[in-house]
Amino acid sequence: MKAFINFRRSVVVLLLIFSCFVLLIQCINNGKKNNDIAKKNAATSYQRKVNFKQFAGEATCIKCHKNIYESFIHTSHFLTSQPALEKYIKGSFEKGRNIFPFNDHLYVSMEKRDSGLFQVAWQRGVEKIAKRFDIVTGSGAKGQTYLSWYKNELFQLPISFLTAANEWANSPGYDPGKVVYNRPVTSRCLECHSTYFNVTSPPGKEPEEYDHNEILYGVQCEKCHGPSAKHVEYQTQNPKDQVGRYIINPSKFSRQQSLDLCGLCHGGRLQKTTPSFEFIAGDTLSKYFVPSTAGPTTKEIDVHGNQLGLMKESKCFRLSTTMTCITCHNTHENERVQTELFSQRCMTCHNKEHGTFCKIDPATVSSIKSNCIDCHMPKQPSMSVALLLPGHIEPTAALIHTHLIKVYPEETKRFMQKHK
């Protein structure tokens, strides 16, 4: 705690020094042309381009885009962050199923109390600490992690949920021996799992601070179509205009713009060079992040969130001029495990007429046309979505389809055995 206070104090001192420095520079430059540049620099570090008022909120879109809206709410994007209501939490609060044991004397129980849902650490029968579930991250397709407010800061709770095992599990990177409540949640984490959080702390302050009232949960319409308050206002006032105005349509993007939009969150661990939540659909990603150089053989390129890096290494991408993520994905629909549908999309490029079909002997695989995926994009263990189950020594990883599309001889063998 003391270290924490000292840290706070040094941040304040640093900020004071910094403001004096800015004032000093401004005095020196007063009346000169340079003043504008100094002002602009100060402004870019504190004044954000994107703010809460520019958003309409996805609920407003239903009025005029009913079909898209109604299918979209079943996608993982929509569900990837939520306020922590019981119905959104996949794990059980029932007695007997609500415990994660650390050792003989220490466990965490998930409890419903009058003031909400809590993770409570118990040591030798004594309650040590209770923290509330405030925000759910993860649709639960693979797993969920929970966040808790401390004033205006957010911390990741120690117990997560692993869907494949249908069990509570220790959060990734947490010490299996003790209960820890002090891992701050970064704005970058929220940038990939939500549409907007208002980051109120100055750049560089850690843990970062957020405004409780200016949050847009889920990866929503406006993440891919830009903040849309103006669009909604205009179309509402001009119902006869059948042209969409003040709105971004990714179908008009260049290949690079399209890749950059998905790459914001599916491009792996990128080093940011501007504050989070500044990137708007259509922007150039490299203006906001140091471009990724990780190759598919390095450990850096995990399947958690790096479909772009993997796809870019595939021959399909390198030797075609059109492939983007939306060649195969319709982001308005939940198309999970519709293997046949995805296989049809492969066959838009790989078909018998063009002589580009699979080289495997069709006589050996009867169901070939309905499943290109298991042989060419097999599931692999994620390095970061890996959670420790009770009583295990090694974390259990969620399985994620690789986007390095190629021939996998071992998977072919396995497939043939299964479909004999």
* Residue 349 within binding range of ligand HEC, rule CB under 6 A: yes
Identify the CA nearest to 386 among candidates 81, 184, 169, 103.
Answer: 169
Question: Least distance (Å) from ligand HEC to the CB of residue 388?
Answer: 14
Q: Which of residues 172-201 bind ligand HEC (CB under 6 A)?
A: 185, 188-189, 192-193
Q: Which pair of tokens denotes residue 237?
A: 């006032």
* Residue 42 within binding range of ligand HEC, rule CB under 6 A: no
Separation between Cα atoms, residue 208 and residue 298, nearest integer Å: 30
Question: Least distance (Å) from ligand HEC to the CB of residue 381?
Answer: 11
Q: Which of residues 318-337 bind ligand HEC (CB under 6 A)?
A: 319-320, 322-323, 325-329, 331-332, 334, 336-337
Q: Pick between residue 122 and residue 155 the one whose CB is nearest to ligand HEC.
A: 155
Identify the CA nearest to 278 among candidates 328, 232, 227.
Answer: 227
Question: Least distance (Å) from ligand HEC to the CB of residue 133?
Answer: 13
Separation between Cα atoms, residue 15 and residue 122, nearest integer Å: 40
Separation between Cα atoms, residue 240 and residue 410, nearest integer Å: 59
Place of tokens 């560089």: 204
Q: Pick between residue 35 and residue 54 the one whose CB is nearest to ligand HEC.
A: 54
Q: 156 pairs with which residues across the strands? A: 147, 183
Window contacting ligand HEC (CB under 6 A); options: 2-10, 70-78, 107-115, 286-294: 70-78
Separation between Cα atoms, residue 274 and residue 41, nearest integer Å: 12
Separation between Cα atoms, residue 191 and residue 36, nearest integer Å: 31
Question: Least distance (Å) from ligand HEC to the CB of residue 69?
Answer: 4
Q: Which of residues 366-405 bind ligand HEC (CB under 6 A)?
A: 368-369, 371-373, 375-377, 382, 385, 400-401, 403, 405
* Residue 134 within binding range of ligand HEC, rule CB under 6 A: no
Reported as type and span, the H/E element at residue 414 is helix 409-418
Say if residues 72 and 62 touch (Cβ distance below 8 Å): no
Q: Which of residues 224-253 bind ligand HEC (CB under 6 A)?
A: 224-225, 228, 231-232, 235-236, 242-244, 247, 249-251
Window contacting ligand HEC (CB under 6 A); options: 24-32, 103-111, 201-209, 298-306: 298-306
